[in-house]
Amino acid sequence: MKNATICKFYLLLFLVASTFQVQAQNQVSPKQIDSVVTLAMSKFNVAGCAIAVVKDGKILFEKGYGVKSMDSKEPVDINTNFAIASNSKAFTTVALAMLVEEGKINWDDKVKTHIPEFTMYNDYVEENFNIIDLLTHRSGLGLGAGDLMLFPQGSDFTIADVLANFKHLKPESAFRTKWDYDNLLYLVAGELIARKSGMTWEAFIASRIFKPLGMDNSHTSLSEIIDTSNLSASHSTETGDMRVIDTFEDMINGAAGGIFSNVNDLSQWLLVQLNEGKYGDSLKTELFSKENHYEMWKIHTVTDANSSPRYNSHFAGYGLGWFLSDVKGNMLVEHTGGLPGMLSETLMIPDLDLGIVILTNTSNDGAGVFSSVSKTIVDMYLGLDDFKWIDKYAEHMASKQSGAEDAVKKVWDTVANNKKTKIKTANYIGMYEDVWFGKMEIFMKGKQMWIKSLRSPLLSGPIQFFKDETFAVKWDYQDMNADAFVMFSIDENGKTNGFTMKGISPEIDFSFDFQDLNLKRID
C-alpha cells in the first residue's frame, strides 16, 4: 500500500509538471499574433481590421490594422468602432439573465405571458413558445425566415409587424427538433427586455452592461453615435473593386445585431464572460450569476460536431447567443457577426482562459481574415502544427467566389442572349401581394419592365426575361449580392396570377429569404 501511494504521488507530480510544461510551450507572444494578422491582411482584400486577445485575466494584445475608410485612408486603432452584428446577441441574453435574477422573468416563461400579441405558425407552438426558444434557433422556421423585413435597410416594418407575421411563416421542421438560424426572434427578445425593464433594449444595454464594464466607447445603434470620427466605414467587393458603402441603418431594435464597438471595449466583454459574470478589481462585482453563466453556455440546440480529427471534437450546439463545441478536449465558445461591409468574430476557450475578438470592415474577405486568424492563434495555443489556415482560407474563398460569379454570369448571359424575345408585358404588369412581406408592383419604366417593393424601397430594379416564365431582377441595391429570379404562374388566358422568387447567386446571404415569398395578383 505504501509503495502504491508513493507511485501515485510521483505520477501526480509528473502529470502536474507535464501540464505546466505544455502550457509553457504553448504561450503565444504579441509578436506572433501581430505576424499572423499582418500575413492575413496581405492575403485578403480587406480595408481594415482590429483584434484583441485576452489571456489569463489580462489583455495580452490589442491592435488595429489597415484603414477605417479606403477614401479617407485614416488608420484603424483599438478604439475604432465597427458594427459587431450578431455578436450583439450575447448581450441580449445577458440582459435577459439579469432580468431573471431580478425576478422579472423566468427562462421557461411563455412568450405570450409577457407579449400577448406574439404569434406562431400554429396554436401549439404559439402557446408553448418560451423565452429560451427565442434565443436558440429551434423554432421550426427555416434559415433566416422573415429577414426580408430587415434586409436591406430602409424598410418600414415595425415590431408589431414582426409579432403578427410569424403566423404567416411556414415551418421547415418540427418545433424544437432542428437548428435553423434566425434574427427575428431576437428582436422579440429585445421587445421583451423593453417591456419588463421599462427601458428600451438600447438603453438597457448601455446603462446596465456597457457602463459597469467601462465600455465607454460602445454604442447600441448607429443613430446614437454622435461623434463618428472613429467609426469605421463599411466596404464591399460585391460589384468588383472595393468601395465604401452605406453603413447599415438601425433595425427595429438592436437585439439581433445593433451594437457598434471596438476591440478595447470588447476585451472587457471577453473578460467578464471568462470570469463567469464577475468583473472589476479582485472580481468582487457581479454582472450576472455563475448559474446563468452556465445556462448561457449550455447546449440547448444540438448541431453537427466538427468531424475533423485535427480537433477531435465530440459535441456541438447552440447555447444562449453562443455556438458551443469542443476542440482537443477544451470547450470552445464563439459567435460570428455579419452586416453589409462588416464581419466579426468573438471566440473563447475558457479552459485556457483565452479570448479573441476580431473586427473587420469589408465584405466578403473579412470572413477569411477572422476565420483564418482565430484558427491560427487557437492552434498555436493548443500546440498544433501550422495548418496554413490563412492560405487555405484564401484559396477556399477565391474558389467559392469564382464559382458563384460563374453561376451568376451564366444567368445574365442568358438574359442578354434572350433580349430580343418578344414579351407581352401587359400580361405581367400589376400589383401583387405577399401575406407577410406586403405589396410588390410590376410596371413599365420607360420601355423597361420594373419591379419594386412598396415596403422595402431598396428592393427596386429592372426585371428582364430569362427563360420560360422566369425573369431576373437586378436590384438598385448592390451592397450585397441579392439579385433574384422572379418565377410567374400563368392563368388560362396567359396572364400572370402570381409569382415566387429565389436568389440567383448560390452564395446569396440567407437573410434575403426570397424563397419564402408567395405573391398573388391583387389587381
Residue 231 belongs to some domain of the structure: yes
The pLDDT of residue 494: 86
Same domain, 129 and 259: yes
pLDDT band at 174 (very low <50, low <70, confident <90, very high): very high
Host H or E run for residue 345? strand 342-349
Q: Are 458 and 153 in contact (CB under 8 A)?
A: yes
Same domain, 385 and 438: no
Residue 110 belongs to some domain of the structure: yes
Stretch 468-488: mean pLDDT, rounded? 96
Domain that holds residue 462: 420-521
Would you tell me how many other CB atoms lie within 10 Å of the CB of residue 278?
Answer: 18
Same domain, 357 and 500: no
More confidently predicted of 361 and 15: 361
Q: What's the chain's length in residues?
A: 523
For 306-330, the pLDDT digits (tens) are: 888 999 999 999 999 999 999 999 9
CATH number for the domain spanning 450: value is 2.40.128.50
Same domain, 376 and 508: no
For 88-100, the pLDDT digits (tens) are: 999 999 999 999 9
pLDDT band at 20 (very low <50, low <70, confident <90, very high): very low
Stretch 378-403: mean pLDDT, rounded? 96
Kindly write down the DSSP assignment for every residue of 282-303, as one continuous string: GG-EESS-HHHHHHHTS-SEE-
Residue 152 belongs to some domain of the structure: no
Same domain, 269 and 323: yes
Mean pLDDT of all residues belonging to the chain? 94
Predicted confidence (pLDDT) at residue 7 exceeds the cutoff of 50: no
Residue 272 belongs to some domain of the structure: yes
Looking up cell 473578460, which residue turns up?
A: 271
- Could you give the CA distance from residue 465 to residue 463 in angstroms, rounded to a whole number? 7
- Could you give the CA distance from residue 440 to residue 455 in angstroms, rounded to a whole number? 8
Would you tell me how many other CB atoms lie within 10 Å of the CB of residue 154?
Answer: 14
The pLDDT of residue 15: 41
pLDDT band at 2 (very low <50, low <70, confident <90, very high): very low
Same domain, 202 and 78: yes
Which of 228-232, 366-370, 490-494 shows the lowest mean pLDDT across its residues?
Answer: 490-494
CATH number for the domain spanning 129: value is 3.40.710.10
Would you tell me how many other CB atoms lie within 10 Å of the CB of residue 50?
Answer: 29
Write out the E strands in 122-248.
234-236, 243-245
Q: Are 377 and 402 in contact (CB under 8 A)?
A: no
Contacts of residue 17, Cβ cutoff 8 Å, sequence gap at least 6: none
- What is the number of H-type helices and E-type strands within the chain? 14, 23
For 417-437, the pLDDT digits (tens) are: 999 999 999 999 999 999 999
The pLDDT of residue 460: 98
Dihedral (Cα; 122, 123, 127, 129), 10-degree rounding: -10
Residue 160 belongs to some domain of the structure: no
Predicted confidence (pLDDT) at residue 300 exceeds the cutoff of 60: yes
Same domain, 381 and 478: no
- Output phi, psi for 471, to 5 deg: -120, 165
The pLDDT of residue 238: 85
Residue 185 belongs to some domain of the structure: yes
Structural domains of the chain, count:
2
Predicted confidence (pLDDT) at residue 14 exceeds the cutoff of 90: no
Q: Are 472 and 487 in contact (CB under 8 A)?
A: no
Stretch 150-173: mean pLDDT, rounded? 98
Predicted confidence (pLDDT) at residue 10 exceeds the cutoff of 90: no
Closest CA to 345 of 378, 306, 315: 378
What does the buried/exposed string (b/e) look like for 84-115 if buried means 16 or more CB atoms within 10 Å of the residue's CB?
Answer: bbbbbbbbbbbbbbbbbbeebbeeebbbbebb
The pLDDT of residue 127: 98
Sign of the CA dihedral with 103 first, then 183, 325, and 344 last: negative
- Three cell numbers, residue 480: 450585397
Amino acid found at 227: D
Q: Are 365 and 48 in contact (CB under 8 A)?
A: no
- Three cell numbers, residue 313: 471534437
- Could you give the CA distance from residue 114 to residue 129 in angstroms, rounded to a whole number? 12
Same domain, 246 and 357: yes
Collapsing DSSP to helix, strand or coil, 136 comes out as coil
For 107-135, the pLDDT digits (tens) are: 999 999 999 999 999 999 999 999 999 99
pLDDT band at 26 (very low <50, low <70, confident <90, very high): confident
The alpha carbon of residue 94 and the mean position of all alpha carbons in its chain are separated, in whole angstroms, by 17
Q: Are 356 and 269 in contact (CB under 8 A)?
A: no
Closest CA to 51 of 344, 381, 382, 321: 344
Helices (H), 346-388: 366-382
Residue 7 belongs to some domain of the structure: no
- Could you give the CA distance from residue 35 to residue 82 in angstroms, rounded to a whole number? 22
pLDDT band at 493 (very low <50, low <70, confident <90, very high): confident
For 178-223, the pLDDT digits (tens) are: 999 999 999 999 999 999 999 999 999 999 999 999 999 999 999 9
Same domain, 377 and 512: no
The pLDDT of residue 1: 39
Collapsing DSSP to helix, strand or coil, 385 comes out as coil
- Could you give the CA distance from residue 194 to residue 418 in angstroms, rounded to a whole number? 53
The 8-class DSSP code of residue 62 comes to E
Same domain, 222 and 116: yes
- Three cell numbers, residue 72: 479617407
Collapsing DSSP to helix, strand or coil, 417 comes out as helix
pLDDT band at 239 (very low <50, low <70, confident <90, very high): confident
- Three cell numbers, residue 232: 469605421
Q: Are 519 and 434 in contact (CB under 8 A)?
A: yes
3-state secondary structure 223-279: HHCCCCCCECCEEECCCCCCEEECCCCCCCCCCCCCCEECHHHHHHHHHHHHCCCEE
Collapsing DSSP to helix, strand or coil, 483 comes out as coil
Same domain, 333 and 220: yes
Same domain, 318 and 266: yes
Full strand arrangement of the beta sheet holding 316-318: 58-66, 48-55, 354-360, 342-349, 330-339, 323-327, 316-318, 301-302
Residue 326 belongs to some domain of the structure: yes
Full strand arrangement of the beta sheet holding 234-236: 243-245, 234-236, 362-363
